[in-house]
Amino acid sequence: MSKLFGTDGIRGRAGSFPLDPSTVWKIGRALGRNLGDGSPVLIGRDTRASSLHLECALVEGIQSVSGIAICAGVIPTPAIAFAMSRENYSFGVMLSASHNPFEDNGIKILSGRGSKSSVELETFIEGEVENERAKPPEVQAPSPLEPDPLYENIYLEHLTTTLRGVELPDWRIALDCANGATYEIGPRLLSALGVPNVVMSNKPDGKNINAGCGSTNPEGLAALVLEEKCDLGAAVDGDGDRLILVDEQGNIANGDSILLICGRWMKQVGTLAEDSLVATVMSNMALEVALKQLGINLHRTAVGDKFVAEEMKRRRVNLGGEQSGHVIFSDYATTGDGLLTLVQLLRAMTASGKRLSELNSLEPYPQILLNVRVSRKPTIDEIPSLSAAIKEAENVLDGNGRVLVRYSGTEPLLRIMIEGPEREIIESLAKNICESAQKTIGSS
């Protein structure tokens, strides 16, 4: 059976398997066969040039088995997730590769509850695509369904409602829209909240999504904050489910800082369920130490907001997230949501009367992150030299640090993360692991 799904839906190079028109059409047919009671599939997309082509192939596939598709147009992933939890849909689909460059794309499938697709559904779709014998029609120039503005509007109303009764200070905010799915609704939100704002990267051309901007490249936002004398900077990613912050001094704050600030505030006001939150194995040890001092438990899970959401539900926790900026406030949303996170951060800042630089007390341990492009993904234990390099690093750190080596679920990459108290030591250890991986499974 062909493997289509990774840790966050289907990802790949647009136009190539599994994102070629034929395969996407077959995925649409599989979804269409799963529809219950005649309810439709709601489809959203980001601003990549290829997203429109994917939408057309998917819609044709759904309609070929008498399924119904409704298109929301360019819209953030969390807006689709919110619609799933509110409206009568069997599935939602977001066409996006999130923070990846424009050449990539992806298909994220959401359940009727707004959560990421189940393993059972993914297995069914993979089987249907593998066994599909029907031939797709010739795909002509894109002729998408007319987007319905309803879904952006109800999502905007939902975001503003979470701040009802809160009077925000007269802050000026710089917003980096990553030339992605929030390029219209992000500025609309700040205007609806009455927040003076400066906006950058809000002119998508189909190719500039995430290009030197957004949550993975916040340096330009930091410069804008200083230049425009803003009180806060906020950078989302291409599909709007991540948030990275910049304080008024130009310092960058990632998802770990956001979890600490919001977790501390929720604990103070008595809304932090179980006095706990969920983060992934990538979150810095300093977060765990800081939370413990506040009487907050940190539960770790595998990388991916899908796994964070599952662990939150299992532990009945209402706050969780990732260092990369996916943050889930389950009282309001089922997935990571960059704009909702910004709204909740503003709420915490307003309640405290402090600026971000005063609230961000996290002092992370030095951390090294390296990626090795790989030609294959064997089990790491099957590579003796790589396993030995990892074991050596663990022995050197002797419990006073962490070593995490894993494959990316969406790209042909081996990700190496080491953190510890002394940067020189962890840099050397990470370099050894990287060199071993390049020699054994690196792609030329």
Residues identified as active-site: 98
Contacts of residue 198, Cβ cutoff 8 Å, sequence gap at least 6 = 172, 173, 174, 175, 224, 228, 230
Half-sphere exposure (CA, 13 Å, Cβ side) for 231?
Answer: 16
CB 220 within 8 A of CB 212: yes
CB 188 within 8 A of CB 108: no
Name the pairing type of β-strands 173-176 and 197-200.
Answer: parallel
Residue with tokens 């709420």: 347
Rg from Cα positions in the chain: 22
Tokens of 397: 């750190």
Closest CA to 278 of 329, 320, 322: 320
Instruction: Please list, residue by residue across 152-170, b when 16 or more beta carbons sit within 10 angstroms of its beta carbon and e when fewer do.
Output: beebbebbeeebeeeeeee
Residue with tokens 């500025």: 187
Amino acid at 294: L
Tokens of 305: 């907001």
